[in-house]
Amino acid sequence: MQVRKTAIEGLIELIPRVFEDERGHFFESYNKPLFVSLGLPMEFVQDNQSFSVKGVLRGLHMQHEPFAQGKLVRVMSGQVLDVAVDLRPDSPTFGQYETFLLDAKLANMAYIPEGFAHGFVALEDSVFSYKCTNIYHKASESGIIWNDPDLNINWGIANPIVSEKDQELKPLREVFPQAVV
């Protein structure tokens, strides 16, 4: 498993070793003792899977205490641009974001700690899968509008397909008034 740190503390990309042979390929996408040795000792208690047609954007979502979720995200088919925004109040990189081009052929994944907003846009028809450190609790979920002017995220696509629920999300400066000057 290769590990690539980003400029944001705790936000990392993981690239598993893929074994190829005449049948296809095989890899471990999660291995608890290995993750512990990589500094990721958390327990994952829920796995989710979604399918998105090309052009769908899901996000930006976040879960609040006591149901905050760390997420280990990856793509099993297709390709997405994955975005993680640091919204940890005490973080020196608050408001900064990182993108990951998650591709089923690379089998790369990202670990997004608790306290981030998360979303992705499907660059192809894509199967997306993630492991969560906490269970889903609808009332503890909120988010930031995907095209927030302060975040100014380059999604690389002009008119994404966004759910009604996600179109109603608020901008960062309304959700964190103290943080944006």
Ligand X SMILES: Cc1cn([C@H]2C[C@H](O)[C@@H](COP(=O)(O)OP(=O)(O)O[C@H]3O[C@H](CO)[C@@H](O)[C@H](O)[C@H]3O)O2)c(=O)[nH]c1=O
What positions carry a catalytic annotation? Answer: 61, 130
The 51-90 contact track toward ligand X, x by CB under 6 A, reads -------xx-x-----------------------------
Is the CB of 9 or the CB of 19 nearer to ligand X? 19
For residue 150, the partner it binds in ligand X, its own copies, none, with Cβ less than 5 to 8 A by kind, is: none
Gap between the Cα atoms of 40 and 37, Å rounded: 7
Q: Supply the DSSP string of 115-126, one letter for each residue.
A: TEEEEEEESSSE
Exactly one of 33, 89, 149, 177 binds its own copies (CB under 8 A); that residue is: 33
Q: Which residues contact 132 (CB under 8 A, 6 or more apart)?
A: 44, 45, 46, 47, 48, 69, 70, 71
165: its two tokens: 């629920």
Residue of 9, 128, 144 lying closest to 63 (CA atoms): 144
Q: Supply the DSSP string of 67-102, one letter for each residue.
A: S---EEEEEEESEEEEEEEE--TT-TTTT-EEEEEE
Is the CB of 86 or the CB of 181 nearer to ligand X? 86
Phi, psi dihedral angles at 166 (to 5 degrees): -75, -25
Give the CB-nearest residue to ligand X: 136
As measured in angstroms, the least distance from the Cβ of 103 to its own copies is 14
**Span 24-53, contacts to ligand X by CB under 6 A:** 26, 28, 48, 50
To which residue do tokens 């052929």 refer?
A: 105
86: its two tokens: 């640091």
Q: Interface with its own copies includes 136 (CB under 8 A)?
A: yes
Site residues (vs its own copies, CB under 8 A): 21-33, 45-53, 56, 58, 76-77, 107, 127, 129, 131, 135-136, 161, 163
Interacting residues with ligand X (CB under 6 A) = 19, 26, 28, 48, 50, 58-59, 61, 118-120, 136, 141, 163, 165
